[in-house]
Amino acid sequence: MRKLRTQAEQAYVTAMTTNAIDVTEATFEQEVVERSYQTPVVIDFWAAWCAPCRSLGPVLERAVAARGGAVVLAKVDVDANQMLAQSFGVQGIPAVKAVADGRLVAEFVGAQPPAYVERFLDALAPRPSAPEEAEPLTPEEAAERWRARLDEDPDDAEARVGLAGQRLAAGRLEEAETLLRPVEHLDEAAELRGRLRLLREAADAASPYAEAARQAVDGAPGEALARLLGAVRASGGAERDRARELMLDVFRVLGDGDPLTQRYRRHLTMALY
């Protein structure tokens, strides 16, 4: 892995380690494993040269800070701690792993949008709305709270979307889809619906767009959109429609305000008309 850092990259290192625990192979056991028995720890595997890492880092910091100490952010520089990254099976960065009670409980890869990060952290420690809710929760406890709200009111859209997000983060796609079906028309469910369809497409070995869908959910949405746009331009009929629909799903995951969404939405319109 690359060792040299530009001045801008070094500035990023300084900023990020100011508000998070900088963990090494020597301190990992104490700072992450032992600490996780009291407070869930979110590990951010990153590198200063990684542009998606620099995008995700501030999003993670803000979301963790909003939880008032109910969750800890630990940063692992993969260049300086290659054995640690290998032991966690890190193949692409940024890679985020959540540890609670000494074990891995959730993870995701890529520079995900703020809404996704919030839902990921909600499964560990929901943002407190009152002092008594500031205690850290395990993903199972968070899911139980969402479920209890749904049992009380099946029309509680916030609880339905929250539980679906937790299930999706845990890889339980069927449960997430069932939960989302009654609220699939709501804007609040758009990002999760898009992510769910992309995950299904990525898992379909027979799909010509499986690789593009995998890129979209693994932190390379620009590459995914470029690939899908090429398919829209080069194909026709059902294949073209499918590529277009997947581009719309990537837009939903990124959000309307993302520069990639704005740029590729224009390209898609030109390709179609």
pLDDT tens, 77-135? Answer: 999 999 999 989 888 899 999 999 999 989 998 888 888 899 899 888 876 654 444 45
32, 50, 121, 232: the catalytic one is 50
What pLDDT does 155 receive? 87
273 vs 267: CA distance, rounded Å:
10
Residue 194 structure tokens: 């898009």
Residue 9 appears among annotated catalytic residues: no
Q: Give the lowest-confidence range in 56-70, 123-137, 226-240.
A: 123-137
Decide: helix, strand or coil at residue 99.
strand
Of the two residues 167 and 208, the one the predictor is more confident about is 208
Does residue 4 have a pLDDT over 80? no
| Confidence category of residue 198, pLDDT binned at 50, 70, 90 | very high
| Confidence category of residue 229, pLDDT binned at 50, 70, 90 | very high
Chain-wide mean pLDDT for the chain?
85
Tokens 């625990």 belong to 21
224 vs 221: CA distance, rounded Å:
5
Alpha-carbon separation of residue 74 from 16, 42, 79, 194, 250 (angstroms): 10, 6, 15, 29, 29
Parallel, antiparallel or unpaired: strands 21-22 and 72-77: parallel
Does residue 2 have a pLDDT over 50? no
Question: Is the full-model pTM beyond 0.85?
Answer: no
Tokens 């000494």 belong to 102
Of the two residues 32 and 115, the one the predictor is more confident about is 32
124 vs 192: CA distance, rounded Å:
18
- Asked if residue 110 lies in contact with residue 218, where contact means CB atoms within 8 angstroms, the answer is yes
Q: What percent of the chain has pLDDT over 70?
A: 89
Residue 86 structure tokens: 């290998």
16, 41, 48, 53: the catalytic one is 53
Torsion of CA 86, 92, 94, 98, to 10 degrees: -50
What pLDDT does 165 receive? 86
Does residue 144 have a pLDDT over 60? yes
170 vs 139: CA distance, rounded Å:
9
Torsion of CA 245, 249, 252, 253, to 10 degrees: -170
Does residue 8 have a pLDDT over 70? no
What pLDDT does 136 receive? 59
Phi and psi torsions of 206, nearest 5°: -85, -10
- In terms of Cβ atoms closer than 10 Å to its own Cβ (0-12, 13-18, 19+), residue 79 is middle
- In terms of Cβ atoms closer than 10 Å to its own Cβ (0-12, 13-18, 19+), residue 168 is buried
Residue 27 appears among annotated catalytic residues: no
